[in-house]
Amino acid sequence: MALQLFLKFCTFTRNHRVKLLGASSLGLFAANISYHVLPDQTFRKVYQAWSKGEPAQLSERLHQLFQDVLAEARCPSPSGYTPFAGYGFHPTSAGVPWLPGGCMIGIPANYNNMGEDGAGIVERLLVINGEEVDWSSDLGKRLRDCLVFSTDAKKFSLAREAVHAQSGGPLIQASVAPVCLTAVCVSSVGLKQLLGLYTGPILLRGIFNLLAITVGLTGYFLCSDSVNQWLDFRADSKAAAISKSYAQGGLEFYDKILARNRILRGIMGKQGETMYAPSGNVFPKPKVRLKHAPYTARRARIQRTLETM
């Protein structure tokens, strides 16, 4: 009985493989892009920063800084961007500004600091490994310095998120899975016809299909990681190309991220050693993949851009 159902299923998929492939590819794309279609209902609920039980608000100064960045980056649809007070140490974003849901960019609390004294940072509670950070200690002062960014560094980090969204980065990322699925299915069908497996034993076709799935998954992971790294480099390059001050801000931004990670590596002990490299780069999870470009490589790319200006 089970064998008959399996054979009927195989016959059905072979007779309707074009429609099934189209539906599967569209489904994958829809699932991947859904996070960016309504970022206010998905992304913001995860990354919204809270203060005293209420959503934290951005200062007027940060709102103005964000508008200046959009103008200097010449974003054609500034009304499609919505900044909010985000969780973390550096900006994050989701959405596409020219889609109805727009683009949401989370700006962290440490961007509210008013100067090198770290005001806006030392007033907040930061807990690492279950212990509160003492901002007056030597380690706390070093960590505070890594979280205080100049105006140019803030502008660069906001600009890279804005240009990433404006140039369709989320759409490109969402397209990788359906493209890989289509490529694997079409090539496997062609190879089976070329090798005459459709007229051979079903066991051989099953083994071939398992190999095709394995190769397809491996290819997807490689393509996905390569595309993500390319998008990281592209966003950095476009933001650094705005002006020399933006490029210098990019160097400072990544220098301080690397320094912060090295400090966290020391504070967190063995857990920090598994998360951060001695250089300050983040170890990938899982280790066989590299979903984002290393910070040192991004900094080197910006350094080369600055040298050509």
Annotate 95-126 with b (16+ C-beta within 10 A) or e (fewer): bbbebebbbbbbbbbbbbbeeeebebbbeeeb
Q: How many residues does the chain have?
A: 309
pLDDT computed for residue 121 by the predictor: 62
pLDDT computed for residue 4 by the predictor: 60
The tens place of each residue's pLDDT in the chain, 309 residues long, gives: 555 665 565 565 666 667 777 788 888 888 888 888 888 888 888 888 887 778 888 888 888 999 999 998 888 888 889 888 888 788 989 888 888 888 899 888 778 765 555 555 655 666 776 667 777 777 777 888 888 888 899 999 999 999 998 888 888 998 999 999 888 888 888 888 887 777 777 778 778 888 888 988 998 999 999 999 999 999 999 999 898 999 999 999 999 999 988 888 887 778 777 888 888 888 777 677 788 889 999 999 999 988 887
Amino acid at 145: D
Q: CA-CA distance, 113 to 61, in Å (whole number)?
A: 10
Q: CA-CA distance, 96 to 102, in Å (whole number)?
A: 5
| Host H or E run for residue 107 | strand 103-108
- Residue 154's nearest CA partner among 76, 79, 248 is 248
Tokens 């020391």 appear where?
A: 266
Tokens 């990670």 appear where?
A: 261
DSSP lists the bridge partners of residue 81 as 103
Phi, psi of 83 (to 5 degrees): -85, 150
Burial of 82 (0-12, 13-18, 19+ CB in 10 A): middle
Q: What is the DSSP letter of 208?
A: H
Phi, psi of 118 (to 5 degrees): 80, 15
With beta carbons less than 8 A apart as the criterion, state whether 106 and 85 touch: yes
Q: CA-CA distance, 216 to 180, in Å (whole number)?
A: 7
Token digits of residue 268: 């967190």
CA distances from 4 to 7, 10, 182 (A): 5, 10, 28
Burial of 216 (0-12, 13-18, 19+ CB in 10 A): middle
Q: What is the pTM of this model?
A: 0.85
Pairing of strands 127-128, 103-108: unpaired
Q: CA-CA distance, 140 to 121, in Å (whole number)?
A: 11
Burial of 161 (0-12, 13-18, 19+ CB in 10 A): buried
pLDDT computed for residue 114 by the predictor: 54
